Amino acid sequence: MQSTPARLMLKPAQLRLLQEIAEHGQLQLAAQASAMTQPAASRMLAAIEAQVGAPLFLRQPTGMEPTEIGLTVLRRARVILREMHSMAADVTALRGGLAGSVHVGAVTGPAVGTLVSAIRQIKQQSPEAEITVDVMPSRELLGHLAAGEMDFVLARILPEFESRDFNILQLRDEKVCFLVRAGHPLARAARVTLTELSDYEWIMQQRGAPIREAALAAFASVGLSEPGNIVNSPSLLLTIAYLAQSDAVAPISDEVADLLIRPPVAAGFAILQTRREIRVSPYYLLSLRRRPLSPLAMRLRDTVIQLSRDDVWPRPLPPR
């Protein structure tokens, strides 16, 4: 019949004392390192050995040396103390917003113009922080946020969502520009009119998307029908590829255009200079009222807010 393994219930202070004894070889030095008196350390060691049921150290003239059982206990004690130290460090990092995970979402403009810079700042200070970002239309973002699947989003408020469920902070609106490849026939024109543009091929987001609706409203405001030759796609990557291979025109946010035409990307595109300024309704930073943000999410949120307030748009464009 097998005997039941002894159940040891050693406290962190006891484990630290054992470690100090092994390191210093003398009970008096171990007691000083553990911030206790030698009699107190002697009583604690006796209690530990009574619980183990065997001596942990041999008392030699030259000092205290671990027994075979003592070496086994010390090996485990060191592992436990390392884990406890690591746990304390993890908790401190989490409480300070230096670690943990955060899941956020944004529409394309603020994702490119603000969120990227905010994440870079956080990662420079907290490389272990796990940050997940989804870029999608406002309706999908609000759906994920309402379901508790994201910490906060940069999106527009839609009537089908109950605004009382959210903490809402207005950030800024977006300017819409018309992007073409650098070799487009109109790329070097000082000014282009919507009449000139109406006969060109276009690639736009799906109907109902704010940037598309703002562009079509600009045509309607001067008495023009919407362009008849339109490719529909919500994909920014496909839009870029299509523009690069055609004379199509795409309405996109100024922030995305800024990324594409400036170094280091400098992807061979140009912004058409028009007489009319087109703007889209503001986007907001939204989080759930019922779900408090973690320290890391709060740090990222505050960085986004600060960058949004510091940024001045539109930025001057480089000469073409």
pLDDT tens digits, 174-186: 899 999 999 999 9
Whether 129 and 155 map to the same domain: the answer is: yes
pLDDT at 202: 97
CB 15 within 8 A of CB 80: yes
Render pLDDT for 126-153 as a digit per residue (tens, 0 to 9): 888 889 999 999 999 999 999 888 999 9
Whether 185 and 251 map to the same domain: the answer is: yes
Pairing of strands 101-106, 152-155: parallel
pLDDT at 316 over 60: no
For 27, the token pair is 């009970």
Q: What is the rounded average pLDDT of the residues 269-298? A: 90
Whether 30 and 84 map to the same domain: the answer is: yes
pLDDT at 94: 63
Whether 66 and 109 map to the same domain: the answer is: no
Whether 88 and 131 map to the same domain: the answer is: no
Whether 144 and 67 map to the same domain: the answer is: no
pLDDT at 78: 85
Q: What percent of the chain has pLDDT over 90?
A: 58
Whether 83 and 120 map to the same domain: the answer is: no
Cα–Cα distance between 320 and 317 in angstroms, integer?
A: 8
Determine which of 77-86, 138-147, 274-283, 306-315 has the lowest per-residue pLDDT on average. Answer: 306-315
Mark residue 299 as left, alpha or beta (left: phi above 0; alpha: psi -120 to 50; beta: remaining).
alpha
Whether 66 and 161 map to the same domain: the answer is: no
pLDDT at 236 over 80: yes
> Please, what is the average pLDDT of the chain?
87
- Domain final residue pick, 95, 127, 154: 95
| Residue 3 domain flag | no
Whether 168 and 48 map to the same domain: the answer is: no
The total number of structural domains in the chain stands at 2
pLDDT at 2 over 60: no
CATH of the domain at 52: 1.10.10.10
pLDDT at 77: 87
Looking at per-residue pLDDT, the higher value among 9 and 17 belongs to 17
pLDDT class of 306 with cuts at 50, 70, 90: very high
| Residue 6 domain flag | no
- Domain final residue pick, 95, 123, 143: 95
pLDDT at 201: 96
Cα–Cα distance between 125 and 171 in angstroms, integer?
A: 25
pLDDT at 275: 85
CB 145 within 8 A of CB 287: yes
pTM over 0.85? The answer is: no
| Residue 174 domain flag | yes
Contacts by 185-193 with C-beta closer than 8 Å and gap 24+?
185/247, 186/272, 187/270, 187/272, 187/320, 188/270, 188/320, 189/272, 189/273, 190/273, 191/273, 191/274, 191/275, 192/272, 192/273, 192/274, 193/274, 193/275
Whether 183 and 275 map to the same domain: the answer is: yes
- Domain final residue pick, 70, 95, 120: 95
Cα–Cα distance between 156 and 141 in angstroms, integer?
A: 9
Q: What's the domain range around 146?
A: 101-310
Whether 209 and 256 map to the same domain: the answer is: yes
| Residue 140 domain flag | yes
Render pLDDT for 85-115 as a digit per residue (tens, 0 to 9): 767 666 766 666 566 788 999 999 899 889 9
pLDDT at 312: 43
Q: What is the rounded average pLDDT of the residues 28-37? A: 92
pLDDT at 217 over 70: yes
